[in-house]
Every structure is written in C-alpha cells, then in structure tokens.
Amino acid sequence: MSLHDVHTGSEQRIRKQISVLQGLGVEKTSLLAIPRYHGGAALEESAGTAGWLREVQEAGHEMVLHGYYHLRMEQPDPPENFFWTKFYTAGEAEFLDLPPELAAERIADGLRRFAGMGLKPKGFIAPGWLMSAAVEQVIFQAGFLYTNTVGDIRVSGGRRIAARSLCWSVRAAWRRVASLGWNALLWLRLSNAPIVRLSLHPADLEHEPIRRQIVRIVEAALRGGCQPMTYSECVERYGQV
C-alpha cells in the first residue's frame, strides 16, 4: 500500500488515510513525499510536517522520495508527450524526459533535504511513474534499492517484480466513473496475485463510491491472506536476483 503526494498541504488528508487503513488492519504503508511540491516551500520548512513524518517512519511506515517538484515546471512539452503530460497527468510528469544530469541534481537535493529531516528513503518513485531509461539508471546510481512503474517494481541489479498497481483518478467526474469500472475489472484479474498493490492519492477517500471500493478491496485482500508491507519489505521478500 502506498500513499502518494505527501507534502505539507496534503498532510491532514494523508493522516486520515492512515487512520482509515489502520482501522482496516493495514499498519504500515509507503509514503511518497515531495521535497518542494509544485515549486512551493520546501517540506522541511514545516517543522510540524517534518516531525510527523519522522514519527510515522519510526512507527514502521516507509518514506519514499517522490520526484522533486512533482510538476514539469518550465520544461518544454513536445507533441509526442501530450498524452502523458496533459491527459494522463496534469502537467506532473516531472521525470518523463528530464535530462539525466538535471534528474541527478534534483534527486541529490531531495536526498539532502530528507536527510536533514531524519528521513531515510530506500526508494525513488517518479511522479506518474513516468521516467526514461536514462533516469532509471540515475536513480540506481544514487543508491536507491528500488523504483517502480505502474506495472512493476524495479530493483537495483536489474530484477523486475511484476506487480500491477490499482490506482484511481478523481480530478473529474468521468475519471471517477472510469476508475471504478477499471479497478473492478483489474481486481478480478489480480485478486489472486502474490502481490496486491494499491496506490492512493490524497483525495481518493473523499469520494464515497471510490472509498467504498478501496475498502472492499483492502478487506478482501486481507481476508485472502495478504500481509501489509512497505515497498522495501516487498523487495526484500520477492526481489532477490
């Protein structure tokens, strides 16, 4: 279970998600935190948020570096990227075509900021799960244990663990309807998979039909014998080359 887009502005929503999940029996998650969300204030500038992240890390949740700005900022948008930058994401495909040297700089600065807060990420996940092969190489050169796409978990050393993520899009009514149908079908296919992977974004549980579907899937997965774990724990269990 991963909780995406953690920053000062989403803290209260993420806190509620953790509370709901704990009530279902999910005691640990991977939290995908953004150093400077949309170019705003740095995460560490909020002592309250930084302290809370340290607390949940100590409680067993895992911190993951999730891009740097989570926004393309002033990157050009060539026509061939239109689907990914405008439709699939709302301009948040930050690492899709980022030059490797710039990706390395942002990752290094993100790690520095996390270290200053006492956060210890083992993984890096690009916004929208979108990155080039060159950026993937940069990620592992930075010392991360894993990264992932929507379809798999990628481990340093070359191993890929098949694990399709269920995820929802709630920014428009038609997307919410489509998400419900798509994830119902996807769950039929994945319910017996060795790894059940759910990815939540801050507003997901605020839409009641989607909340009900997520709760049903979590409950069914737990009844089926799934054990909640972080990405790094999953890699340790399934990622040996």
User: And the tokens for 180?
Assistant: 């419900």
Paired residues of 195 in beta bridges = none
Read off the CATH number of the domain in which 195 is found. 3.20.20.370
pTM, rounded to two decimals: 0.94
pLDDT of residue 78: 76
Nearest 5°: phi and psi at 154? -110, 125
Question: Which segments of the chain have a pLDDT < 50?
Answer: 241
- Rounded CA gap, 93 and 76, in Å? 12
Determine the 3-state secondary structure of 94 from DSSP.
coil
pLDDT of residue 205: 98
Helices (H), 27-172: 47-58, 82, 100-116, 133-141
Nearest-5° Cα angle at 181, 131 to 23 = 80
Q: Do 161 and 146 touch, CB atoms closer than 8 A?
A: no
Question: Other C-beta atoms within 10 Å of 53: how many?
Answer: 24
- Rounded CA gap, 63 and 53, in Å? 8
* Structural domain boundaries enclosing 144: 2-238
DSSP 43: G
Which residue has 């929507």 as its token pair? 150
Cβ partners under 8 Å of residue 218, min gap 6:
1, 21, 24, 26, 198
Distance in Å from the first CA to the final CA of the chain: 23
Determine the 3-state secondary structure of 152 from DSSP.
strand
pLDDT of residue 82: 65
How many domains in the chain? 1
